[in-house]
Amino acid sequence: MSVLYVAKLNNNNAFSLFKTSIELAKAVELQLSPLVVAALNQLAADNENFGKQINKSQKSGLSDELKQLDAERDSLFSLIKRAVSSFQKSSDPASKAAANQLQWLLTPYWNAGSLPLNSETDILEELFAKYKASPELKAAAVTLNVDATFTLLETKNTAFKNRYQSRIAEVAAREKTSGSSLKPAAVASYVQFCTALEQAVNLTPNPESIDLFQKLDELRKKYHLLEGGTKDKPSTEAAPAK
């Protein structure tokens, strides 16, 4: 795989890399070897704990204003999800079709509220970009009367991002320690997973494992550009996974 010193990524970028890798692998889990699946499950468990620690640490240092903004955007997003789920059961064909369209949009972002705060902000921005680029999705939101909620959610998310960035120095100082005690385990599990997948591709390849390998390698190339965002020491990764 392409060179990537994972331990040099800051906590949020490392978590996001691991999370995306896990999601890609889970989609083809049934076609992966038992060894790769075992490594995947270990990575998923370690990254879940890592994410919880990041989130807890970040939230503990937030101002009341930021806590309120985060709570408001979570509430608005939940409101949209509830409306979509409800209208999917509607007897009205137009409402049901609109709900199904929005469900397609929301599914990859359904659990955004449980992500570390910076990751949630970025994920929601990605959702808004897709939503605003599609006349069909915007029309579906109007049909379900949630278009104003989408607009308000974006406003709250932007306000959170701007307020959070105004405290970037404080966040950066705190990030040197926040999540660091569980980061090495997640890094080690990610390296182990990549190594297991590479061995499977070399020794017992199938189309799904090869495709996953290629997707993860492209992901590594993207995150390679983000190295150096933290001073965390590579305590569990002396060299990149090959």
The whole-number pLDDT of residue 236 equals: 31
* Rounded CA separation 62/215 (Å): 35
SS3 label, residue 142: helix
Residue 207's pLDDT is what?
A: 95
Kindly write down the DSSP assignment for every residue of 75-126, as one continuous string.
Answer: HHHHHHHHHHHHHTT-S-HHHHHHHHHHHHHHGGGTTGGGS-HHHHHHHHHH
Cβ(117)–Cβ(168) below 8 Å: no
| Structure confidence at residue 206 (pLDDT) | 95
What confidence score (pLDDT) does residue 66 get? 84
Average per-residue pLDDT for the chain: 86
State phi, psi for 167 to the nearest 5 degrees: -115, 25
- Decide: pTM greater than 0.85: no
Residues of the chain with pLDDT under 50: 177, 229-242
> Given this model, what pLDDT does residue 62 score?
65
**CB neighbourhood size of 145 (10 A):** 12
At 173 the pLDDT is: 59
Looking at residue 206, the DSSP 8-state letter turns out to be: -
pLDDT at 60: 59
